[in-house]
Structure 1
Amino acid sequence: MKLKYDSPTGYRLIRGNFIQIPFFCFRAIMKMFVMNPRFLLLSVLLVLSAINLCESSTVKNRNRKKQQREKEQKEINVCDIEQENTPLYCYCNDNKLASAEDANCLIFNKLELSDPIWAHFNAQMYIRKLSFVVRSDGMITYVPTGVLRQLKSLNTISFQHAKFDAIESQSFASLPSVSTINLNKNNINVLKWHSFEGLRNLTLLNLDENYISELSRDIFYDVPRLQKLFLNHNNISLLHDKAFKHLPSLQELELNDNKLSVLTSESFSGLRLLQRLDLRNNQIRMLGERSFIEMPELQELDLDQNRIEVISNRAFDGLKNLRKLRLSENKLSVLEPDFLVGAPSINLLDLRENELTTMTFDNIKPVIMNFYNNSSYFYLDGEYLYSTEYKMKYIRIICQSLFTKSVSPARFSLKQIFCADNVASRDTQIAERYML
């Protein structure tokens, strides 16, 4: 049995396992030794009694501290906040400590990054799905990067109605398990350089309904597994060449309801696996040569509701897998011969609500064989059309009643043609089929 000094708490009695003796206890023990040198046995008994007393006191003190820690942990549990007027309140699928996997949080008041309430998330380290909905504008203006990094199991992040203004560089860095981020309706104006760097397992990113006006290079750096990117309902007017070059796995890209007016052959550089591109309701006026050459796997291209007047006869070069091409509600009056030569697999072609006056056999010659299939569709209306020259057979389609001018009967090699009546009912099938 030995006494060992352990500053600043005092000495420890070495007896198998160490027992902590507070300094005041040790001082009392030593005093007894000094005062009773002739009564060693009695002193030893008194020492042992004092040790037991101190040990009992120490155990009680530890238990008291443990209970206090548990109480404090309960108080900081983000899923079980009891304070009134809290700026943040979360509804979780399980309120027990370290048990929640799904947390939906409401932000009621202005919440600074330094607010201690963010520490409450430490009690729920296994949250997989986390969403924040801001109830009043301007209550949060930043991404709480440090808080998110502590949630090692986090898979899905969602913010809505925040006022981020800009997504700063590396705002979501070091979140290896995150696969989905929803940032729609957050008043975002700018995406900074490397905004999403480090999200190496991210597969879906939603940036709909913000105020983004420009997409520059290197915004989407280091997100190699991203498959779906949604940028609808923004103000994007400038798309830099190679803006998507770091997205080799992207399969779906939606850019509808923006202000794009110019596309180049490098606008979509790097999107070798893209299958679906939505460019509806922009301000595109022409499709130049090889506009989509970087997307050999593209299957669906939607260009409805633009202002397209001219399509180069090589605009669709490289689109050997394209199946659906939508060009309705544009300003096309003339189509170049063989303008579909680069997309020989098209089986759905929509040219409604344009200003076409003539349709020739050469216009659709590259895809004519596809229209023998019952699942193929060709949409066309005749507000301006007065001449068709389809050199086809098997089926005779009569729809002159909808044309403003006389149209010669056409013989088609496709199974159906839809002639939309803009006055009566749009998209009404009124084609009559006659076998020769």
Structure 2
Amino acid sequence: MKTLDMELVVKYLLLTLALTSVQISHTESRLNEKRRDKTDRRHHFIKVMDNLCEIANRESKVHCYCESTEINAATRADCWVFNGGINESDPIWASFNSQQNLERLTFNIRSDGALTFIPLQVIKRLKRLQKLYIHYATLNKIEKRTFTNMTTIKEITLTNNKITELDLFSFTALPSLVNLTIKENKIIEIQRDVFVDLPSLKYLDLSFNNINMAHDECFEHLVILNELQLEANSLAVITRGTFRGLANLTRLDLRSNKLSMIGDLTFTELWNLNELLLDNNELKYLSERAFDGLALLEKLSMTGNQLQCINEGLLEGIRGLKLLDLRNNQLETFSLDTVKPVLENLKNTISVLYLSGNKFKCDCRLSWIKSLQNETKSETVRLALSGVTCTFAEQSNSHRELKANTKDVTLDKVEDVFEIGTNSNLLQQNYEESYEDNSAYKFDSTEKPVIDELILVDIPIESLPCPGETLLKNEDSLMLSSKGESYWLQSSSSRNNLNNAVTLAFIVLSKLYLNF
């Protein structure tokens, strides 16, 4: 009996064990099947739907093109946003997880309002991202700390994004940032503390905005900045405080603003400045000490302004100047005393001096120009000075006097010379001026010559009258006291008329002789 009971117990135990094994095996099989199914579905999801570089859905609001389509193999992606209404929760942003090694990312927006925010949830997950470009979005305002704590980013470019405002600390704590471009937007004002803790920033481009106010010390944190672009804004006032902190700046572009004057020591904080561009402003006045402190300045361009005179001491503080561009102003003279601090520099082979397009009066204060043309080793200077023109204050009277007193048969040809005016190749020539192929220094070939202008270097130096000259060179000073003031004024006028007549006759006869 006992033996039978024992056998039954053993059988029961064996049956129980067998059932348990079957259940365990079945459970494990189901778990493994679930794992395989989950893995398969995950790989299928990544391959078909989540690969940023292979988005097949035509209705997707974002399409990206990469140099490699393998998962995590692309280093560059150019993305196009075609449809409007995309928001920060759109599933498309998850596809950027498939390319974690992107180093360069570009967003090109194809329609207004298609992208109204910066996709930071994507950008900040890309731990190797170095360059970010966003074009034609509708961003309006860069909020506080929008760009911060991105340790790998070296370049940010935001162009044509309708940005009107940069909040405080918009760009901060970006230790690797070297280039920052925010051009062709609608920014009105640059406040203090917008650019903070950017220890590597060397290039800042704020050109083609509507900036009319740059607060004092707004750039003070950019201690190693080399180049600042402020071209094509609406700045009417700049002060010494505007550029405080930019001790390492080498190039400052202020072209096409609304500056009408520059006061004392405006740029004195810019100890290392090498190039200053002030073209196409509304400059009428330059303080005598406007450029003091710019000991390393080599290039100064002020073409297309309204300058009528230059203070004699203006160039004293910039004796290292090698390029000076004063084209298309309203200068009536430019004396030797004014140019003297940089005159020797202008004789070097790489020097540049542009003076054409002004309203120079033909007098002895310009005689140094002809001497410089003969002495300089710079072909650019020599050619540019050949195009400088001037007018005699009483040229029309001299012409009539010359016509009345001349009975030579060449008189008709003399008349032709004056009547041809702007169409004459004898009295006016245009030259192509260039400096290292830089468009900022190229001669404007559309410049219209003024009627009756003469080529300055063609006029004999001894024929250039001196303003206010009342004495003949050999006149005894005692004789002066015996003549009344009206006599000397009349004599001076007569001599000036005679000098002008002789000069014009000399030029005309020379041209006729050459043609003959």
Range into which the TM-score falls when normalised by the shorter chain: 0.7 to 0.9
User: Which residue is equivalent to 2:67?
Assistant: 93
Q: Distance in 2 between matches of 1:301 and 1:195?
A: 28
Within the candidate set 106, 120, 127, 2:102 is matched to: 127
Query: Per the alignment, do residues 149 and 327 of structure 1 end up closer, same or farther by CA in structure 2, a change over 3 Å counting?
Result: same
Please say if 1:308 is aligned against 2:333: no
SS at match of 1:106: strand
Q: Distance in 2 between matches of 1:322 and 1:227?
A: 19
SS at match of 2:150: coil
Query: Per the alignment, do residues 163 and 373 of structure 1 end up closer, same or farther by CA in structure 2, a change over 3 Å counting?
Result: same
Within the candidate set 168, 174, 181, 2:143 is matched to: 168
Within the candidate set 116, 124, 130, 1:155 is matched to: 130
Please say if 1:361 is aligned against 2:361: no
1:373-388 equivalent positions in 2, closer than 5 A: 373-381=348-356, 383-386=358-361, 387=363, 388=365
Query: Per the alignment, do residues 326 and 400 of structure 1 end up closer, same or farther by CA in structure 2, a change over 3 Å counting?
Result: closer
Q: Distance in 2 between matches of 1:334 and 1:406?
A: 17
Q: Distance in 2 between matches of 1:419 and 1:66?
A: 69
1:27-426 equivalent positions in 2, closer than 5 A: 38-74=11-47, 75-109=49-83, 110-381=85-356, 383-386=358-361, 387=363, 388-389=365-366, 393=371, 395-396=373-374, 399=386, 402-405=389-392, 422-423=447-448
Gaps of 5+ in 1: 1-34, 408-415
* Amino acid in structure 2 at the alignment position of 1:345: G
Q: Distance in 2 between matches of 1:59 and 1:306?
A: 76
Query: Per the alignment, do residues 253 and 424 of structure 1 end up closer, same or farther by CA in structure 2, a change over 3 Å counting?
Result: same
**Which moves more between the two structures, 341-350 or 381-390?**
381-390
Bigger Rg, structure 1 or 2: 2
Query: Per the alignment, do residues 36 and 323 of structure 1 end up closer, same or farther by CA in structure 2, a change over 3 Å counting?
Result: farther
Identity of aligned residues (%): 36
TM-score by length of structure 2 reads 0.70
* Amino acid in structure 1 at the alignment position of 2:288: N
Q: Distance in 2 between matches of 1:405 and 1:106?
A: 63
* Amino acid in structure 2 at the alignment position of 1:113: E
Q: Distance in 1 between matches of 2:120 and 2:189?
A: 24
* Amino acid in structure 2 at the alignment position of 1:41: L
- Structure with more helix by fraction: 2
Question: Does structure 1 retain, via aligned residues, the 8 Å contact 2:147–2:171?
Answer: yes
* Amino acid in structure 2 at the alignment position of 1:82: A
Q: Distance in 2 between matches of 1:145 and 1:229?
A: 22
SS at match of 1:159: strand
Query: Per the alignment, do residues 45 and 432 of structure 1 end up closer, same or farther by CA in structure 2, a change over 3 Å counting?
Result: farther
Query: Per the alignment, do residues 115 and 369 of structure 1 end up closer, same or farther by CA in structure 2, a change over 3 Å counting?
Result: same
Q: Distance in 2 between matches of 1:36 and 1:404?
A: 132
SS at match of 1:79: helix
Tell me by how many angstroms 1:431 deviates: 8.8
SS at match of 2:21: helix
Query: Per the alignment, do residues 271 and 47 of structure 1 end up closer, same or farther by CA in structure 2, a change over 3 Å counting?
Result: same
**Which moves more between the two structures, 253-262 or 365-374?**
365-374
TM-score by length of structure 1 reads 0.83
- Structure with more strand by fraction: 1
**Which moves more between the two structures, 105-114 or 182-191?**
105-114
* Amino acid in structure 2 at the alignment position of 1:141: T
Tell me by how many angstroms 1:249 deviates: 1.5
Q: Distance in 2 between matches of 1:306 and 1:194?
A: 31
Once the two structures are superposed, residues 157-192 of structure 1 have per-residue CA deviations (whole angstroms, 9 ceiling, x without a partner) of 111110000111111222111111110111111111
Query: Per the alignment, do residues 400 and 218 of structure 1 end up closer, same or farther by CA in structure 2, a change over 3 Å counting?
Result: closer
Query: Per the alignment, do residues 167 and 402 of structure 1 end up closer, same or farther by CA in structure 2, a change over 3 Å counting?
Result: same
Question: Does structure 1 retain, via aligned residues, the 8 Å contact 2:288–2:312?
Answer: yes
Question: Does structure 2 retain, via aligned residues, the 8 Å contact 1:382–1:419?
Answer: no
* Amino acid in structure 2 at the alignment position of 1:291: T
Give RMSD over aligned pairs.
2.7
* Amino acid in structure 2 at the alignment position of 1:126: N
Question: Does structure 1 retain, via aligned residues, the 8 Å contact 2:230–2:253?
Answer: yes
